[in-house]
């Protein structure tokens, strides 16, 4: 947008300067042409008087001397014809076709205008002046004058105007760039702030400074909106964390009391007792996951230290062996990952052991900063993979599998908090791949 504004401003300024410079240049060329016409017409008028006197005296010697001296001095060509068109006096090289000018002068009219003098021409101009008194014409004076000096002066003025226009355009472009930067300064600041907020820095705010007053007000209102949204999210997060924390103790007490009631139950109540305990366990797991999610969103549960992935995988091998599922770890024993990445791996492995059937395989790989947990279970469809990172999402085909629906949501928040990218991909020929691309992997 900055470039478009600069181009727009500069284009308008170029048009304005051109609209001023071109007419001024043409006006000077016309002025210089008229000055040349007046100067040479005065000379032609003088020669016409001399020619008329010479025709009356039938003596052209004096006129010849004047014409020759004039031609040598100004580099012009002069020709004097009588009423019949015969040449009486000539000096200098006469190259122009003088028939039209001669016909005009013999009609009693003098040359009123010349072609406009420009640096590109014409090289010579032709003037005609009738000689005689009243209606009695005795001849015609023709002057072919060079325009070299006039063209040089026009070129100098035009070059000065061009240089001035270029300097004005350069300064105008610089001013346009600064003006565009000043106008867009609040927009740039808002773009930087929104990008920071999108990356999870909820405390990022715009800094109103330079720029139009309307955009500065927009920055202030954006900051107020961000404060309101951030405060609402923080209150919501605090509520979830507090509620989850406060529910842990009542749930634990409730579980103990239910266990104390077990010896007093009759046989027909045992099944309902076990279902109640299962629901209580599921509720306790949900509370723990809510509390974990609230802590992750608040940034309190993300540690920057690195941990070894090998010992964690060794613990999971026992769980997988009990379920008769193979766990293949293509990871060096001393390989280290951020604490958040290890927790994401735990979530992915916990999900995999729930859905992969007996005899299946789960493979963990770590290469070039990319951690992958791939299984050959039933997997998820494309639409399901796009929704699986949301909170409380559960596949309709796996509704009876224990869980809170918050595991992948917690993994997504952990990935965001540590600057990594989490994706769910299909495995070949079937299954699911949880891919974590760490920030340093690019």
CA 25 to centroid of chain Cα atoms: 38
How far apart, in whole angstroms, are the C-alpha atoms of residue 315 and residue 375?
Answer: 18
Dihedral sign for Cα atoms in the order 133, 135, 139, 143 = positive
Q: Which helix (H) or strand (E) holds 78?
A: strand 77-82
Is 283 exposed, middle or buried (CB count within 10 Å of its CB: 0-12, 13-18, 19+)?
middle
Buried b (16+ CB within 10 A) or exposed e, 401-429: eebbebbbbbbbbbbbbbebebebeebee
How far apart, in whole angstroms, are the C-alpha atoms of residue 426 and residue 428?
Answer: 7
> Encoding tokens for residue 390?
């949301």
pLDDT digits (tens, 9 = 90+) for 247-295: 777 777 777 877 787 777 766 677 777 777 777 776 776 667 666 666 6
CA 286 to centroid of chain Cα atoms: 47
Question: What average pLDDT does the segment 41-64 reach?
Answer: 90
Q: Which residues contact 111 (CB under 8 A, 6 or more apart)?
A: 37, 41, 44, 101, 104, 105, 126, 127, 128, 129
pLDDT digits (tens, 9 = 90+) for 74-91: 889 999 988 888 889 999
Question: What average pLDDT does the segment 312-318 reach?
Answer: 84
Do residues 29 and 154 lie in contact, with contact meaning Cβ atoms separated by under 8 Å?
yes
How far apart, in whole angstroms, are the C-alpha atoms of residue 360 and residue 328?
Answer: 11
pLDDT digits (tens, 9 = 90+) for 322-366: 889 899 888 876 788 888 888 888 888 888 888 888 889 999 998
Question: What average pLDDT does the segment 197-218 reach?
Answer: 83
pLDDT at 103 over 90: no
For the chain, what is the radius of gyration of the CA atoms?
A: 49
pLDDT of amino acid 179 = 86
Helix, strand, coil tally for the chain in percent (to 5)? 60, 15, 25
pLDDT of amino acid 293 = 66
Mean pLDDT value across the chain = 83
The 3-class SS string of 100-132 reads HHHHHHHCCCCCCCCCCCECCECCEEEEEEEEE
pLDDT digits (tens, 9 = 90+) for 143-169: 999 999 999 999 999 999 999 999 999
pLDDT confidence band for 42 (50 / 70 / 90)? very high
How far apart, in whole angstroms, are the C-alpha atoms of residue 389 and residue 76?
Answer: 94
pLDDT at 302 over 60: no
């Amino acid at each position: 947008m900055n470039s478009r504004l600069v181009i727009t401003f500069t284009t308008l300024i170029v048009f304005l300067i051109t609209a001023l410079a071109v007419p001024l240049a043409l006006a000077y060329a016309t002025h210089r042409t008229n000055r040349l016409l007046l100067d040479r017409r005065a000379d032609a008028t003088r020669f016409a008087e001399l020619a008329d006197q010479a025709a009356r005296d039938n003596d052209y010697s004096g006129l010849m001397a004047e014409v020759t001296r004039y031609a040598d001095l100004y580099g012009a060509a002069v020709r004097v014809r009588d009423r019949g068109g015969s040449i009486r006096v000539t000096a200098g090289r006469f190259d122009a076709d003088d028939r039209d000018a001669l016909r005009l002068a013999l009609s009693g009219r003098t040359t009123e205008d010349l072609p406009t003098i420009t640096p590109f021409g014409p090289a010579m101009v032709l003037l005609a002046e009738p000689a005689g008194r009243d209606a009695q014409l005795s001849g015609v004076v023709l002057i072919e004058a060079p325009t070299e000096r006039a063209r040089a002066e026009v070129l100098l003025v035009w070059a000065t105007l061009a240089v001035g226009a270029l300097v004005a355009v350069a300064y105008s472009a610089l001013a346009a760039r600064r003006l565009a930067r000043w106008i867009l300064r609040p927009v740039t600041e808002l773009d930087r702030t929104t990008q920071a907020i999108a990356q999870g820095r909820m405390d990022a705010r715009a800094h109103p400074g330079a720029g139009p007053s309307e955009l500065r007000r927009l920055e202030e209102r954006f900051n107020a909106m961000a404060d309101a949204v951030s405060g609402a999210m923080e209150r919501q997060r605090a509520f979830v964390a507090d509620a989850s924390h406060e529910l842990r103790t009542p749930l634990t007490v409730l579980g103990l009391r239910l266990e104390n009631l077990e010896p007093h139950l009759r046989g027909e109540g045992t099944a309902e007792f076990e279902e109640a305990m299962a629901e209580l366990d599921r509720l306790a797991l949900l509370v723990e996951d809510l509390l974990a999610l609230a802590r992750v969103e608040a940034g309190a549960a993300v540690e920057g230290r690195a941990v070894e992935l090998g010992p964690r995988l060794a613990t999971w091998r026992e769980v997988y062996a009990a379920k008769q599922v193979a766990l293949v770890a293509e990871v060096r024993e001393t390989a280290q990952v951020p604490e958040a990445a290890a927790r994401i791996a735990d979530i992915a492995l916990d999900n995999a052991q729930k859905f992969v059937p007996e005899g299946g395989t789960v493979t963990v790989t770590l290469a070039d900063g990319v951690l992958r947990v791939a299984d050959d279970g039933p997997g998820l469809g494309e639409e399901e993979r796009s929704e699986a990172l949301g909170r409380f999402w559960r596949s309709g085909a796996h509704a009876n599998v224990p869980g809170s629906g918050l595991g992948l949501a917690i993994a997504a928040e952990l990935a965001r908090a540590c600057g990594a990218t989490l994706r769910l991909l299909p495995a070949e020929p079937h299954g699911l791949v949880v891919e974590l691309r760490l920030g340093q992997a690019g």
